[in-house]
């Protein structure tokens, strides 16, 4: 089996190089580059040093990336079927060596600004007119590297230190520091790889560990349109109710009052509300029920469920049903 080589695409795009330009610089065909990036063919050893030089990384880093890609491809828990290729490509690169994890630990201990999400976001927004988000992030990260004690740099070597810093930068641009710190504390002697975490941690990462960068009305990079917490509860419920439930009647967006107890209990968990709050809202006139309506239930579930009006015996009925992607996710949860 050939090694997957998604890292080639990541580093090529980071360098602003097209497939044709990389092929020309390496004296290979464009098809060869395409096959590397798709994992169809193995990157021969004679090309390793040349790739490392073009990507401005050490040969050791390149070989680590290749090994990590191969390991991820053969033993990955990541639910890639939920997301677009662009996000999955970034996820492929979210892994760290032990040395890079040590560097992260030092930055955390010494109070790096780059790891303070609110402070970083404020400075990025303030600096947007002066350059791109990445330029501002890289400047702040580089300034934070001055916090690292010389003994640490001397131990790993200055060039290796720079290579480790570059890789760490590419990872923590997308992972919230508190989530990364939590995982590293759980397994301090294991190399971090987002695709090889437990499914519980992967679900937590999707819900709260991936940076979506929505600040002050300005959106950066990726917003994941699914709640794994809600999806797990709803898909298990739908699986018990022949794949669908009737949420509302007519054209109303109000949840029907006569929900069976089992369904109502699940909705309360999903919405994180108490029986008292539910009853208080239900007692209000329908036009004033703004908090716990159909849209509060189906929000962040649209990729794994379908919601539509269906003609009933006497009126329109609004049904929520599981779709094909939802069945895939349900299987992922239950494996």
Residue 250 has pLDDT above 90, yes or no: no
Distance CA 178, CA 220 (A): 20
pLDDT, the chain, mean: 83
- pLDDT for residue 287: 57
In this structure, CATH architecture of domain 228-334: Orthogonal Bundle (1.10)
Other CB atoms within a 10 A radius of the CB of residue 160 amount to 15
Closest among 267, 214, 275 to 236, alpha carbons compared: 267
- Could you give the count of Cα atoms lying within 13 Å of 247 in the half-sphere of its Cβ? 28
Other CB atoms within a 10 A radius of the CB of residue 112 amount to 22
Whose structure tokens read 């999903």? 270
Residue-wise pLDDT tens digits, 32-62: 888 888 777 878 888 888 888 888 778 877 7
Nearest-10 Cα torsion for 313, 315, 318, 319: 0
Distance CA 200, CA 177 (A): 18
Other CB atoms within a 10 A radius of the CB of residue 126 amount to 10
- pLDDT for residue 3: 45
Residue-wise pLDDT tens digits, 100-146: 999 999 999 999 999 998 888 787 777 766 567 778 888 899 999 99
The strand order across the sheet containing 244-249 reads: 244-249, 316-322, 305-311
- pLDDT for residue 205: 95
CATH of domain 6-75: 1.10.260.40
Structural domain spans, the chain? 6-75, 91-219, 228-334
- pLDDT for residue 313: 60
Quote the pTM value: 0.76
């Amino acid at each position: 089996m050939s090694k997957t080589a998604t890292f080639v695409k990541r580093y090529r795009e980071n360098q602003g190089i097209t497939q044709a330009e990389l092929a020309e610089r390496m004296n290979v065909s464009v098809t060869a580059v395409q096959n590397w990036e798709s994992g169809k063919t193995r990157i021969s050893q004679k090309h390793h040093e040349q790739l490392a030089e073009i990507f401005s990384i050490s040969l050791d880093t390149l070989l680590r990336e290749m090994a990590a890609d191969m390991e991820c491809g053969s033993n990955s828990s990541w639910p890639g079927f939920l997301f677009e290729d662009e996000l999955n490509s970034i996820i492929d690169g979210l892994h760290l060596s032990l040395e890079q994890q040590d560097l992260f630990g030092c930055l955390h201990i010494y109070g790096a600004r780059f790891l303070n999400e609110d402070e970083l976001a404020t400075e990025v927004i303030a600096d947007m007119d002066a350059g791109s988000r990445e330029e501002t992030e890289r400047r702040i990260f580089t300034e934070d590297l001055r916090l690292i004690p010389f003994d640490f740099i001397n131990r790993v070597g200055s060039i290796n230190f720079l290579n480790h810093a570059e890789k760490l930068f590419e990872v923590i641009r997308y992972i919230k520091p508190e989530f990364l710190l939590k995982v590293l504390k759980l397994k301090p002697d294991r190399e971090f790889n987002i695709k090889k975490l437990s499914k519980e941690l992967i679900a937590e990462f999707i819900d709260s560990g991936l940076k979506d960068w929505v600040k002050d009305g300005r959106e950066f990079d990726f917003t994941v349109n699914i709640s794994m917490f809600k999806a797990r509860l709803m898909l298990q419920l739908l699986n018990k109710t022949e794949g669908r439930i009737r949420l509302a009647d007519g054209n109303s967006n109000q949840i029907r009052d006569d929900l069976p107890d089992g369904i109502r209990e699940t909705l309360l968990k999903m919405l994180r509300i108490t029986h008292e709050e539910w009853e208080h809202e239900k007692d209000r006139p329908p036009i004033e029920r703004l908090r716990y309506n159909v849209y509060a239930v189906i929000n962040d579930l649209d990729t794994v469920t379908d919601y539509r009006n269906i003609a009933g015996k006497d009126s329109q009925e609004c049904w929520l049903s599981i779709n094909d992607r939802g069945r895939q996710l349900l299987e992922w949860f239950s494996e």
